[in-house]
Chain A
Amino acid sequence: MSTQTDLNVRILSYVDALNEAVEQEMELDENVFVIGLNVDDHKGIQGTTQGLLEKFGSERVMDTPLSEDAITGICIGSAMAGMRPIHVHIRMDFLLLCMNQLINMAAKAHYMYGGQTKVPMVARSIIGKSWGQGAQHSQGLHSMFMHVPGLKVVAPTNAYDAKGCMMAAIRDNNPVIFVEHRLLYSTDAPVPVDPYIVDFGNARVVGEGSDITLVGISYMLIECLAARDLLSEVGISAEVIDPVSLMPLDIDSIASSAKRTGKLLVVDNAWTTAGAGAEIVAAVCEQASLSSVGRMGYASTTCPTTPTLEKLFYPNAASIATRAFSMVRPKEKQWKPDVEPILPHEVAFRGPF
């Protein structure tokens, strides 16, 4: 990395990285616009849209009625006419109101109409966790979208990828489901000032290791990294991979790591049944013979609000480390780390949403 580039890199939060990506793309392309409930209010979607109204005006930063179905269709129609809408949802759960338009129209239009139209749009959605997010503010629904040809799905886990993936998503000529996690908002990373693209379909090794491959999706990547630290204390070397984009999915990089370690544990920020973890494990097993594979994710129940039960709902660094230990050393008795680390992002988030 040259000195010149280094000068243009500063530490930025996930929130500010998203904000900067959208602002820069709006400056570069007047067809880009932001639409969604409260995108123009004083909170600016936790700051991710703050200041955009003042800079670009209400024609390009549009508040909406609570009509997610129609607004999604309106995004699709405007995209067919050459615009590049970014539709913002304060929680991913609200994407369920958009399913008809996203799956029956957005995903299919380019194909079904023989290439006569394109739908370049971004649906931003935030997964919630803790502080009583509960049944309807905590769902990770990305696998539903991965299932449908025509959609792209990305879930950046750090500020650098947040900016690069957002710029790529806006420039993409296809509908992109952009999966954010509320607890990642307080994380920060070195982020270049200048516009840049993080291409979809490239998984990233974020921690090297030789005994087991851990794949962490969305916020679970952070938990996997913490689990890696716990495992190193007992002499287990875990490789941690961030898929970054889920559709397209860089299965080759994950398989290549898993072939080397012989063991694969995918930890999803969602339920395991028919989930992204199931897909990753299956796709890897189609090309590699592994000694041990596993999936972790939300408990197979609805997310409760009370903290005592909610704690049991999610995998965490300790439970991931325990599972990985049993896969690496199946003959040894079950091991648990002495302390269950509490990650700073969990502490940072104090609600309400």
Chain B
Amino acid sequence: MSVKCPDPEMLARVYYSLRLIRRTEEEIARIYPSDKIKSPVHLSIGQESVSVGVCDVLEKNDIMSATYRGHAAYLAKGGNLNQMFAELYGKGTGGAGGKAGSMHLIDMKAGVLGMSAVVGTTIPVAAGYALALKRENLGRVTVCFFGDGATEEGVFSETLNFASLHNLPILFVCENNGFAIHSPLSNRWAKEALCERVSTYSISTHEISDGDVFAIRQTAKAALNAIRSGEGPQFMECKTYRWREHVGPGEDYDEDYRSRDELTFWQKNDPLTTTAKMLTDLKRQAIDIDIEKKIAEAVKFAEDSPWPDSKELFSHVYAD
């Protein structure tokens, strides 16, 4: 599925989001060797289209849950960029005051639920939020992003069953990048039939194999409509590819677990490049300039921000 002539406003929005994420993470990778960011970073570079395609069709007050590889989803859902950089820098002005770092980003004002470094743990939490939204009955939904590795955790199957049983307003989105750290699917899955497995829980499934941002967007839009009209949870499997190493700023094609040839397909079909080409030079340049300005401001905000006060060590252990 591909959209030949997307609506210009939507195209600009999608490009903006793809570009913001790519450039933000490239900037993180550039800063990283300075040791100013003392936080393990799991970059989404190459995987942006899944977050962008899905989040573009979410309402502002919908809820989004993502993983420790969550920069893309955070930004695509409208998470605060200044607070994100400050959080990565460990500054008191970070979204969680420097207690979260890259792996536990959160921005509840933007509907971004807290992320987790323990694979799969956010899946039932997102479903629990969806249970509350079902009772609220205002048509809000939860989107739950997770990787292919998370589908191997018992809690994934447990949650699918519960979500379907109770008709929860939740869209499950598997970002299948083919690796659990460095373990390929062939070491982990008896059969590559994720959608088939999920569908046995009476959940409608959709597979997008090429990372096409418009196909992802269109699929998510239809899935969300179905959820909002009371049809219960939906599932998307989006094949994608992590361009950088599992954790850290660099590439790792000289290691023996994957080859650069795999990357070539995904780079040729990079949604950032294809959407850039669909825009006029003028429009694209305006967006690019705006993004560079915002990132520069965010980095400056992080650099200029104070460290958290030492008393913060003991704040928020218990809620009042």
Which A residues are closer than 8 A to B by beta carbons? 59, 64-65, 67, 69-83, 100-101, 104-105, 109-120, 149-150, 152, 173-174
Nearest B residue to A60 by beta-carbon distance?
B135
B159 in the interface (beta carbon within 8 A) = yes
Nearest 5 pairs of A and B residues by beta carbon: A77-B128, A73-B124, A114-B96, A81-B132, A70-B158
Contact indicator A117/B108 (Cβ below 8 Å): yes
A258 to B132, CA, bound (A): 48
Identify the stretch in B221-229, B283-291, B312-320 within 8 Å (CB) of chain A at 4 or more residues: B312-320
From 148 to 172 in chain B, residues with beta carbon under 8 angstroms from any chain A beta carbon are 154-155, 158-159, 161-162, 165
Give chain A residues whose Cβ lies under 8 Å from the Cβ of B113: 77, 80, 117
The smallest C-beta distance from A60 to any residue of chain B, in angstroms, reads 9
Contact with A along B99-125 (1 / 0, CB 8 A): 110001011100001101010010111
User: Which B residues are in CB contact (< 8 Å) with A117?
Assistant: 106, 108, 113-114
Task: Report which of B99, B100, B116 forms a contact with A105, defined as CB distance below 8 A.
Answer: B116
- Cβ-defined contact, A114 with B95, below 8 A: yes
Whether A116 contacts B317 in the complex (CB less than 8 A), given A74-B124, A81-B129, comes out as no
Provide the residues of chain A in CB contact with B125, threshold 8 Å: 73-74, 76-77, 80, 101, 105
- Bound form: Cα–Cα A73–B108 in Å: 18
Q: Does B37 contact A (CB under 8 A)?
A: no
Q: B104 to A149, Cβ gap below 8 A?
A: no
25 chain-A/chain-B pairs, Cβ below 8 angstroms = A65-B161, A70-B124, A70-B159, A72-B124, A73-B121, A73-B125, A75-B128, A77-B127, A80-B128, A80-B129, A81-B132, A83-B131, A83-B132, A101-B121, A105-B118, A109-B114, A110-B319, A112-B104, A114-B316, A115-B97, A116-B107, A116-B108, A117-B108, A119-B319, A174-B319
Could you tell me if B114 and A77 are in contact, using CB atoms closer than 8 angstroms? no
Q: Which of B95, B98, B116 contacts A116 (CB 8 A)?
A: B95
Contacting residues, chain A, for B97 (C-beta < 8 A): 114-115
Instruction: Point out the residues of chain B lying under 8 angstroms from A76, CB to CB.
Output: 124-125, 128
The total of Cβ contacts below 8 Å across the A-B interface reads 144
Of the residues B107, B127, B136, contact of A74 by C-beta under 8 Å: B127
For B130, the chain A residues whose CB sits under 8 A away are 77
Residue B249, interface by CB 8 Å: no
> When the two chains form their complex, are residues B118 and A100 in contact, meaning their CB atoms are under 8 A apart?
yes
Asked if A113 meets B118 with Cβ closer than 8 Å, knowing A65-B165, A70-B124, A118-B319, the reply is no
Which residues of the other chain, B, contact A67 by a CB distance below 8 angstroms?
Answer: 155, 158-159, 161-162
B126 part of interface (Cβ distance < 8 Å): yes
Other-chain residue from A65, A71, A100, A174 in contact with B121 (beta carbon distance below 8 A): A100
- Residue in A closest to B153 when the chains form the complex, CB atoms: A69
Please, which residue of chain B has its CB at the minimum distance from the CB of A72?
Answer: B124
Number of B positions contacting A (CB below 8 A): 42
Distance in Å from the Cβ of A97 to the closest Cβ of chain B?
9
Nearest residue, chain A, Cβ from B83: A114
B136: A residues at CB distance < 8 A = 81
Given contacts A104-B116, A150-B318, contact A73 B132 (CB under 8 A): no
- With A100-B118, A114-B94 given, can you name 20 additional A-B contacts, CB distance below 8 Å? A59-B135, A64-B162, A67-B158, A70-B124, A70-B127, A70-B159, A73-B159, A77-B126, A77-B128, A81-B131, A82-B132, A104-B121, A109-B114, A110-B316, A112-B104, A115-B96, A116-B108, A117-B106, A152-B318, A174-B318
Q: How far is it, in angstroms, between the C-alpha of A80 and the C-alpha of B318 when the chains are bound?
A: 14
- Which residues from A are CB-within-8-Å of B135? 59, 83
Minimum CB–CB distance for B163 against chain A, Å: 9
Q: Chain A residues with Cβ under 8 A from B104's Cβ?
A: 112-113
Residues 63-91 of chain B: 1 if any A CB is under 8 Å from the residue's CB, otherwise 0?
A: 00000000000000000000000000000
CB neighbours of A77 from chain B (8 A): 113, 124-132
Cβ 8 A contact of B315, one of A71, A81, A115: A115
Residues of B close to A64: CB separation below 8 A? 162
CB distance from A118 to the nearest CB of B (A): 4
Indicate which residue in A71, A81, A113, A114 contacts B133 across the interface (CB closer than 8 Å).
Answer: A81
Docked pose: A76 CA to B126 CA in angstroms: 9
Q: How far is the CA of A120 from the CA of B132 in the complex (A)?
A: 14
Nearest CB of chain A from residue B18's CB, rounded to whole Å: 27
Q: How far is the CA of A149 from the CA of B315 in the complex (A)?
A: 12
The answer to whether A79 touches B114 (Cβ under 8 A) is: no
The answer to whether A73 touches B106, judged by C-beta atoms less than 8 angstroms apart, is: no
Collect the chain B residues with CB atoms within 8 Å of residue A120's CB.
Answer: 319
Is there an interface contact between A73 and B116, defined as CB atoms closer than 8 Å?
no
In the complex, the answer to whether A78 meets B155 with C-beta atoms within 8 Å is no
Give bound CA distance, A152 to B125, whole Å: 20
Contacts of A119 in B (CB 8 A): 319
CB distance from B271 to the nearest CB of A (A): 30
Task: Specify which chain B residues have a CB less than 8 angstroms from the CB of A83 in the assembled complex.
Answer: 131-132, 135
Shortest Cβ distance from residue B47 to the other chain A in the assembled complex, whole angstroms = 23
CB contacts (< 8 Å) of A174 on chain B: these are 318-319
Q: CA–CA, A113 to B96, complex, Å?
A: 5
Do A112 and B319 touch (CB < 8 A)? no
In the bound complex, CA of A104 to CA of B68 (Å)? 14
Interface flags, B247-287, vs A, CB<8A=1, else 0: 00000000000000000000000000000000000000000
Report B300 CB to chain A, min CB distance, Å: 21
In the assembled complex, the Cα of A149 lies from the Cα of B107 at a distance in Å of: 23
- One of A73, A109, A112, A152 near B127 (C-beta < 8 A): A73
